[in-house]
Amino acid sequence: MAYGIADPDRLGSTPIPGGRRLGWAEWGPPDGVPVLFCPGAATGRTLGFGAGLLGPARLISVDRPGLGASDPAPGRTLADAATDLAALCDARGLTGVRVAGFSQGGPFALACAAAGWPVAVALVAATDELATAAGLAPGVAAMVEAVRADPDAAERHFAGWGDPDGMWQRIVAMSGARDRAVYTDPAFARAYRAAMAHAFTQGPAGYARDTVLASARWPFDPATIRMPVDVWYGADDTSPVHSPDLGATLAARIPGARRHVVPDAGGALLWTHAGPILDTLLAR
């Protein structure tokens, strides 16, 4: 059980209105408090977190449309993602749902908060609203500008370099020493790379759409969110696609949000510090 990862206890897919299916994986008690997980970029449902620390929580990781076991939805938006996940909760009878979003999954989790249906949300090393953020690295700023200028062309471009091996190499390359130690741990690397391979089973289109949505203006105003939100970053997070100021601006835009900067952690704090993240989310 390296860094709180373990094989899922349950796998399945659920039909939602419109005829599409969403694939999911679960850990923890089948009647536990549901924590819906929005995974990071190009990562499928099989990589969870907090194994051995879930307690009363039932972690449910969901493949986004076009990734892994979820049917594609061309042209989908962040608002559509919140609608899909709410429909999944309805179809499965989930109540009292908390939502956690990691890295590129952060905007999708925050879209759920904007829609108003979760009990609480945790954003962990989350991608900020890059289209409005200051202090972006030059390469990220160029990506954001490409999406602004021609989102369809940018999506085709992202599809051209979306593959699990290339994604793995880029993630390791942009990580600091603390995160590389996590990502290259043999047991963790096997699980992470298997989740990436699962995400790309339908090809790169799902990942490409996610990247456009994460790089564009959000279709909601964080200032309208009226539920508990915790924003978590590691002080040693060097990823240029998370947040230039470790969530200070992001947290300030969300009424009542609590920002946590963990001094002995990097961007992989979802796996190195899962305990306090889960405890805080369940207590909200």
Please give the domain boundaries of the chain with CATH numbers for all domains.
Answer: 2-283 (3.40.50.1820)
Please tell me the predicted confidence (pLDDT) of residue 1: 55
d(CA 49, CA 63): 15
Enumerate residues 6+ apart whose C-beta is below 8 A from 122.
Answer: 98, 99, 100, 101, 109, 229, 230, 232, 277, 280, 281
Please tell me the predicted confidence (pLDDT) of residue 27: 98
Q: In the predicted model, what is the mean pLDDT of the chain?
A: 96
pLDDT tens across 82-109, in order? 999 999 999 999 999 999 999 999 999 9
Mean pLDDT, residues 29-58 taken together: 96
Please tell me the predicted confidence (pLDDT) of residue 71: 98
Is 80 exceeded by the pLDDT of residue 162?
no
In the chain, what percentage of residues exceed pLDDT 90? 94
Please tell me the predicted confidence (pLDDT) of residue 161: 81
Mean pLDDT, residues 166-176 taken together: 90
What is the pTM assigned to this prediction?
Answer: 0.97
Is 80 exceeded by the pLDDT of residue 254?
yes
d(CA 200, CA 164): 7
